[in-house]
A = this chain, B = another copy of it.
Amino acid sequence: MSDPVVDHLLARQSDILADLKALLRMPSVSADPAFAQGMADARAFLADRLTAIGMENVQLLDGGGHPAVYGDWLHAPGKPTLLIYGHYDVQPADPLDQWTTPPFEPTERDGKLYARGASDVKGSTLIAIESVASLLAVEAACPVNVKFFLEGEEETGSPSLRPLIARYRALLEADAVLSADGGRASREVETINTGARGTNKMEFTLRTAAGDLHSGRYGGAVRNALHEMAALIASLHDREGRVAVAGFDADAAPLTNQQRADTAAFPFDESAFLAEVRASGHGGPEFTMRERITLRPCLDVNGMWGGYIGAGSKTIIPAEAHAKISIRLAAGQDPKRALDAVVAHLEAHCPDGVNLTVDRAGGDSPASTLAPEHPLVLAAERVLKGGTGQRPIHVRLGASVPITSIFKETMGMDTLMFGFNLPDEPVHAPNEFFRLESIPKGLTAWPKILRELATFEPAAFKA
């Protein structure tokens, strides 16, 4: 059954590719002030395009850093309102000498479009914009209300997103977020991301004496802060790599049969996963590796230091040791309670005579979860099933997605990641590329998901 909007989009493919290349030539590196012009060019390009396709209230939203580009079309009364998220900033391109072709000269090679930002996320951002464009061009209407929100600070950790939301809260209000960033977990099967792990972190210090002591004078008589730190850190996991902190995963939702089946169905080669980074597997056999990195909590020491760490040697008994710890959380876990369990473990295992101080760094977020019956999930299922007839596999991300957490926390909006980039595209590295085949794939899916979303009551998104 032919779809005139999709036909229109596919007919416009070469224009859309030309536009994408124009956008990719603008070096919009948010981390480096030297690229201010590239940032301004990309903003102007997107604002112009939003205006051209019929968006209203097109403007820059200033949260104190690089502004976001905004534009809306709100003429679908009674229909859901979707905040369409993308970002126009890109990672720095260094090291430049490792690029086969220059990062800001988009180049097609072997079915791939090479350029900084092609995959992350100018390609998918433009797919979203052009899908709305064709809906408006062909049908003179969009099935849902849309608000484009194109961020300029995603690659620097969205430092001014919270103040920006606080300032423009009314403008950004929507029933849910549809993100052009992230979502596809495999090229082999269709997937729907239904959540991400939460996170929390802390730093702690051990002190065993007033200052470092001379090992000739005290060696054999006193506690060494590094020995104590080692024993404490070692006690956090068992020998098979399981977290050994009492109560740590007490609140973690048990895996459902469907989750385990989805995870098993997902194509995942454990050996290749480890071999790619020359890592050594660890964790205990009661969960598969894929379950452990997406559905289960974990705890990692991210940094540890103490004593003399310069060149040569210094025969001291260090009096102070430090460690940074982060945890990843499963659905159901309260970030504070999980960290409390870690702190309680450290306190319980810290011997007399060793002073423990804990600094909770803050910045915690719970795991995010889209329930299987959430309109965002149901809509995505209908769209993605269309391609193969197979039910898309539900996957969760092992990492946290700050944007998603912030939208949920500040405005109660759930996010569906519906980008068309793939996880094997080297997004923060040299020779970033976006598969050309993903462009028609995205242009086919985006009008459909907007139509599917239109079939739900607005209230259903936050139910």
Interface residues of A, Cβ cutoff 8 Å to B: 196-197, 199, 201, 203, 208-211, 213-224, 226-227, 229-234, 236-237, 239, 241, 273-274, 277-283, 289, 292-293, 296-298, 300-310, 312-319, 321-324, 326, 328, 351-354, 361, 363, 397-400
Residue pair A353, B280 in contact (C-beta under 8 Å): yes
Residue pair B301, A227 in contact (C-beta under 8 Å): yes
Residue pair A399, B216 in contact (C-beta under 8 Å): yes
| Residue among B213, B227, B304 making CB contact with A236, cutoff 8 Å | B227
Residue pair B322, A326 in contact (C-beta under 8 Å): no
Residue pair A217, B293 in contact (C-beta under 8 Å): yes
Residue pair B301, A314 in contact (C-beta under 8 Å): no
With both chains docked as a complex, state the minimum distance between the C-beta of A360 and any C-beta of chain B, in angstroms: 11
17 A-B pairs whose Cβ atoms sit less than 8 Å apart in the complex: A201-B315, A218-B277, A220-B293, A220-B298, A220-B398, A222-B274, A222-B282, A224-B300, A224-B301, A227-B233, A229-B230, A230-B232, A230-B234, A279-B319, A301-B307, A302-B313, A304-B321
A214 to B326, CA, bound (A): 11
Residues of B within 8 A of A306 (CB): 303-305
Residue pair A220, B281 in contact (C-beta under 8 Å): no
Residue pair A223, B241 in contact (C-beta under 8 Å): yes
Residue pair A280, B208 in contact (C-beta under 8 Å): yes
| Residue among B209, B297, B300, B307 making CB contact with A302, cutoff 8 Å | B307
Closest residue of chain B to A214 (Cβ to Cβ) is B399
Residues of B within 8 A of A230 (CB): 229-234, 301, 304
Residue pair B216, A328 in contact (C-beta under 8 Å): yes
Residue pair B274, A215 in contact (C-beta under 8 Å): no
Residues of B within 8 A of A229 (CB): 230, 304
Other A-B pairs, 6, CB within 8 Å; known A209-B278, A223-B280: A209-B279, A219-B298, A226-B301, A226-B304, A300-B315, A313-B361
Closest residue of chain B to A230 (Cβ to Cβ) is B233
Residues of B within 8 A of A293 (CB): 217-221
A93 to B308, CA, bound (A): 22
| List of 6 A-B pairs having minimum Cβ-Cβ separation, nearest first | A216-B399, A280-B353, A230-B233, A220-B298, A303-B307, A220-B292
With both chains docked as a complex, state the minimum distance between the C-beta of A253 and any C-beta of chain B, in angstroms: 16
Residue pair A213, B277 in contact (C-beta under 8 Å): yes
Closest residue of chain B to A316 (Cβ to Cβ) is B302
Residue pair A213, B279 in contact (C-beta under 8 Å): yes
Residues of B within 8 A of A211 (CB): 277
Residue pair A221, B281 in contact (C-beta under 8 Å): yes
Closest residue of chain B to A291 (Cβ to Cβ) is B220
Given contacts A277-B209, A280-B354, contact A221 B289 (CB under 8 A): yes
Closest residue of chain B to A363 (Cβ to Cβ) is B313
With both chains docked as a complex, state the minimum distance between the C-beta of A260 and any C-beta of chain B, in angstroms: 15
A32 to B317, CA, bound (A): 26
Residues of B within 8 A of A317 (CB): 300, 302
A281, A298, A316: most-surrounded residue (chain B CB, <10 A): A298
A237 to B229, CA, bound (A): 13
Residue pair B399, A217 in contact (C-beta under 8 Å): yes
Residue pair B281, A353 in contact (C-beta under 8 Å): yes
Residue pair A328, B398 in contact (C-beta under 8 Å): no
With both chains docked as a complex, state the minimum distance between the C-beta of A331 and any C-beta of chain B, in angstroms: 15
With both chains docked as a complex, state the minimum distance between the C-beta of A187 and any C-beta of chain B, in angstroms: 17
| Residue among B203, B322, B328 making CB contact with A220, cutoff 8 Å | B328
A226 to B302, CA, bound (A): 8
Closest residue of chain B to A304 (Cβ to Cβ) is B226
With both chains docked as a complex, state the minimum distance between the C-beta of A444 and any C-beta of chain B, in angstroms: 29
